[in-house]
């Protein structure tokens, strides 16, 4: 279901001005995407809490009896948290640059939000299947870093400033290996459209494996890992969480934020996870393609497979977070520039040769 | 390098900061991420320990010693009661000696678990911290069934201990030790040999032997620098000469001698040694005996003074007590190992990055209660 479909569908019922229809359907898509982000945050926060608890020999949020209820197995915990955050006092420091301080969380949020517009959740479920889909996502998902820098600068807090400085350096560095490994995928698919990339991954390869890009050739196998590592770094999660490094920078760029403004940072962190994991799934893991060619295919199965793969990759990110210590800022740069970037370049070359010689 | 020189920024790390291990304030000058000057500012937790002692009877001082190093309260009161006993020339029963050693070593493990766990937190690893707390919890449970308290025990008394070992303590102890020994490997797998952890801690904050000795650094921090110095071995007090155990020292396996990883590793190894001591003590402890047998009617040491030092989890813990023959000490001075360790911080951490400074601070394992007293 793209926006174009919605417009056509509406047009067949209400023959009104195209502009009105366009705005209406964009709004509908926006609401749906916002809902996806919100639900994702609700589920992911709960999952993060529970998974971390199980990894750490705890039980995590649990129902605590009448009055202190968090639902059965703590299922309502995230909702309770959200209500708490909404009710909290909204504090803006006196010395803060008020306008930028207010706008920063929304800019970060926007980065993840508009990137999801080109995310194919199923064979027919995509807000807009542009012919430059993957390029568009890469471009807008780095938009969030502006928000981080604004938040850091406007807070007038030294810890925030440190977080902002680190974040800017980190995200810009990791964009490069991420983009290079995606380019190597584009050589295989020879299209920039998200749906096109997924459609090119149909069928099987090597006889039994699904023809996903990760299995296509050894170079793209490596590219998957480079992209995923760089992706984790772009979402500012452990082991690359230096912009908000709790034990060093208190809370990094969002030290001064409270209540719902802070929640927006949180929401966009999970939104970014969704974008990065979604892109991983689309580019390397066959998007909504079924793992066994010809079995369980169709619109709804597509959605099912996409969400399954998405959940698995998000789980890996959560797993990382609760297993690894944090890198130091210079080590982080070393990983990006001295390890990932050369491998990514070599990889791109390898994939190019492979496509030329083999397929 | 060094061509671009921007203005230095003064940054106050603490007193409210997640990784200052209490209420320490570090005034640092930063040049970008590099720290060019560190000034520790202490005293936020000052509770007039030594002044209190001048107005309390000898027994009443014991709870205050607990509160100095609240992470290893047993060891702190252990040193104090040993000093007073020596001043009064009291011989405690065998069973009491063993109980004290068992408790002190348990508390050493508990303290090291906290040190390693929070060190992991400083590096950014959250899970090992909770793994270690899981085991620390079980030690605290053992303390709880013994004396009812989990943090501040007031367990060591002059001439004895407050409670005898309860029923089931021995069995619970053996069970715990067996399981705990296996868990140490779990820590090594998740933290000690983690590549990122090694990158962050090896070759970072190197404290050379001579610097450590010059600053009077003791305990695991000194041993991490490769000096084999442990009062339990070199100046045995209580009954430590009866046990077989090693003194682990830093050898620079992952980096160079005296780096953060070595200090971490020495603590991890010391837990193994403590397990050995506890096992031997549990095997040899006299099964019968009254722990209150040697309690003096009145704690009134003769005129004189004494300096007595023991090996607390943080190092040489010394008590200097002057008695004027009254039930109240004239003066109790505590030589705190964490204080000396902190004093070496600016020497070893200057020039490192902000993240490293907090890691180095974590590797020194300071307890502010003991520094500020």
Could you please state the CATH topology (level 3) that the domain comprising B9-372 is classified under. Answer: Cytochrome-c3 Hydrogenase; chain B (1.10.645)
Q: What is the pLDDT of residues A266-282, one digit of tens each?
A: 888 888 888 888 889 88
Distance, in Å, from the CA atom of A41 to the CA atom of A62, rounded to the nearest integer, reads: 19
- Is position A67 within any domain? no
- Is position A146 within any domain? yes
Q: What is the pLDDT of residues A242-252, one digit of tens each?
A: 777 677 777 77
Judged on CB neighbours under 10 Å (0-12, 13-18, 19+), B80 is buried
What pLDDT is recorded for position B109?
A: 92
- Phi/psi of residue A67, each to 5°? 90, -45
Judged on CB neighbours under 10 Å (0-12, 13-18, 19+), B116 is buried
What pLDDT is recorded for position B2?
A: 56
DSSP A181-206: HHHHHHHHH----HHHHHHTT-SEET
> Model pTM?
0.85
Residues of the domain holding A263? 88-357
User: Which of B21, B29, B117, B124 is the best mutation test for A, with the most CBs of A within 10 A?
Assistant: B124
- Is position A98 within any domain? yes
- Phi/psi of residue A71, each to 5°? 75, 175
Contact status of A199 with chain B (Cβ, < 8 Å)? no
Distance, in Å, from the CA atom of A190 to the CA atom of A194, rounded to the nearest integer, reads: 11
What pLDDT is recorded for position A359?
A: 63
Question: What's the N-to-C CA distance of chain A in angstroms?
Answer: 32
Cis-peptide, bond into residue B15, ω within 30° of zero: yes
Distance, in Å, from the CA atom of B260 to the CA atom of B69, rounded to the nearest integer, reads: 22
Residue among B19, B125, B134 minimizing CB distance to A325: B125
Contact status of B19 with chain A (Cβ, < 8 Å)? yes
Q: B304 has which bridge partners?
A: B323
Domain coordinates of chain B in residue numbers? 9-372
User: Do the Cβ atoms of A162 and B354 come within 8 Å?
Assistant: yes
Query: How many domains does the structure of chain A reveal?
Result: 1
- Is position A68 within any domain? no
Are B338 and B370 in contact by the 8 Å Cβ rule? The answer is yes
Burial letters for B357-369: b for 16+ Cβ neighbours within 10 Å, e otherwise?
bbbbbbbbbbbbb
- Is position A11 within any domain? no
Distance, in Å, from the CA atom of B66 to the CA atom of B46, rounded to the nearest integer, reads: 14
E strands, chain B, are: 9-13, 25-31, 34-41, 156-157, 160-161, 304-312, 315-323, 331-335
Confidence band of A220 (pLDDT split at 50, 70, 90): confident
Regions of chain B where pLDDT drops below 50:
1
- Is position A53 within any domain? no
- Is position A60 within any domain? no
Those of residues 272-301 in A touching chain B at CB distance below 8 A are: none
Tell me the shortest Cα–Cα distance from A168 to chain B, in angstroms.
Answer: 14
What pLDDT is recorded for position B70?
A: 87
Question: Which chain A positions have a beta carbon within 8 Å of B124's beta carbon?
Answer: 238-239, 241, 245-247, 324-326
Question: What's the N-to-C CA distance of chain B in angstroms?
Answer: 43
Q: What is the pLDDT of residues A53-88, one digit of tens each?
A: 888 888 877 765 555 566 677 777 788 788 888 888
**Mean pLDDT confidence for A165-184:** 86
ipTM over 0.85: no
- Is position A153 within any domain? yes
Q: Which of A148, A150, A313, A157 is nearest to A241 (CA)?
A: A148
């Amino acid at each position: 279901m793209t926006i174009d479909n919605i417009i056509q569908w509406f047009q067949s019922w209400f023959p009104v001005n195209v502009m009105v229809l366009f705005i209406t359907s964009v709004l509908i898509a926006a609401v749906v995407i916002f809902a996806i982000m919100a639900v994702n945050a609700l589920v992911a926060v709960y999952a993060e809490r529970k998974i971390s608890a199980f990894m750490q020999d705890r039980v995590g949020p649990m129902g605590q009896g009448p009055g202190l209820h968090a639902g059965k197995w703590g299922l309502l915990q995230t909702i309770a948290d959200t209500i708490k955050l909404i009710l909290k006092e909204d504090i803006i420091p006196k010395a803060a640059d008020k306008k930028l301080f207010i706008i920063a969380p929304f800019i970060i949020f926007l980065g993840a939000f508009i990137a999801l517009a080109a995310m194919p959740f199923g064979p027919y479920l995509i807000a807009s299947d542009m012919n430059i889909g993957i390029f568009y996502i890469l471009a807008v998902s780095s938009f969030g870093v502006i928000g981080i820098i604004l938040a850091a600068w406007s807070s007038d807090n030294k810890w925030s400033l440190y977080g902002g400085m680190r974040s800017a350096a980190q995200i810009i560095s990791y964009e490069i290996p991420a983009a290079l490994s995606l380019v190597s995928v584009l050589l295989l698919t020879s299209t920039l459209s998200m749906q096109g990339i997924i459609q090119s991954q149909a069928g099987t390869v090597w006889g039994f494996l699904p023809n996903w890009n990760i299995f296509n050739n050894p170079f793209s196998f490596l590219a998957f890992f480079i992209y995923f590592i760089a992706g984790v770094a772009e979402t500012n999660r452990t082991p690359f969480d230096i912009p908000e490094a709790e034990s060093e920078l208190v809370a990094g760029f969002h030290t001064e934020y409270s209540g719902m403004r802070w929640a927006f940072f949180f929401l966009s962190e999970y939104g970014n996870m969704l974008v990065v994991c979604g892109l991983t799934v689309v580019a390397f893991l066959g998007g909504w393609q079924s793992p066994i060619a010809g079995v369980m295919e169709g619109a709804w199965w597509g959605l099912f497979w996409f969400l399954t793969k998405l959940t698995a990759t998000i789980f890996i990110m959560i797993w990382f977070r609760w297993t690894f210590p944090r890198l130091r800022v210079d080590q982080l740069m070393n990983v990006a520039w001295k390890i990932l970037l050369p491998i990514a370049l070599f990889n791109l070359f390898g994939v190019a040769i492979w496509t030329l010689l083999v397929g | 390098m060094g061509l671009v020189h921007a203005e230095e920024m003064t940054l106050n790390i603490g007193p409210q900061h997640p990784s200052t291990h209490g209420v320490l304030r570090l005034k640092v000058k930063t040049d970008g991420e590099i720290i060019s000057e560190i000034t520790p500012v202490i005293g936020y937790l000052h509770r007039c320990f030594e002044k209190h002692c001048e107005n309390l009877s000898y027994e009443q001082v014991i709870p205050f010693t607990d509160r100095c190093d609240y992470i290893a309260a047993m060891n702190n009161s252990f040193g104090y009661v040993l000093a007073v006993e020596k001043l009064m020339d009291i011989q405690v029963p065998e069973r009491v000696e063993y109980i004290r050693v068992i408790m002190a070593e348990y508390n050493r493990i508990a303290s090291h678990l906290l040190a390693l766990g929070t060190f992991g937190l400083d590096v950014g690893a959250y899970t090992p911290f909770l793994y270690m707390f899981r085991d620390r919890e079980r030690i605290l449970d053992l303390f709880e069934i013994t004396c009812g308290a989990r943090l501040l025990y007031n367990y060591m008394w002059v001439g004895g201990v407050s409670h005898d070992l309860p029923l089931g303590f021995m069995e619970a102890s053996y069970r715990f030790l067996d399981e705990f020994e296996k868990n140490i490997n779990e820590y090594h797998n998740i933290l000690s040999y983690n590549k990122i952890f090694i990158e962050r801690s090896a070759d970072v904050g190197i404290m050379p032997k001579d610097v450590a000795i010059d600053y009077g650094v003791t305990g695991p921090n000194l041993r991490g620098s490769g000096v084999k110095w442990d009062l339990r071995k070199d100046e045995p007090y209580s009954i430590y000469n009866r046990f077989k155990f090693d003194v682990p020292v830093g050898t620079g396996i992952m980096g160079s001698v005296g780096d953060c990883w070595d200090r971490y590793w020495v603590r991890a190894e010391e837990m193994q040694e403590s397990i050995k001591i506890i096992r031997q003590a549990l095997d040899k402890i006299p099964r019968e005996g009254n722990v209150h047998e040697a309690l003096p009617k009145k704690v009134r040491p003769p005129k004189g003074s004494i300096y007595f030092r023991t090996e607390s989890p943080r190092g040489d813990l010394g008590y200097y007590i002057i008695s004027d023959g009254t039930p109240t000490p004239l003066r109790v001075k505590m030589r705190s190992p964490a204080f000396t360790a902190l004093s070496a911080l600016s020497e070893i951490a200057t020039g490192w990055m902000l993240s490293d400074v907090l890691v180095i601070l974590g590797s020194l394992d300071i307890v502010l209660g003991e520094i500020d007293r």
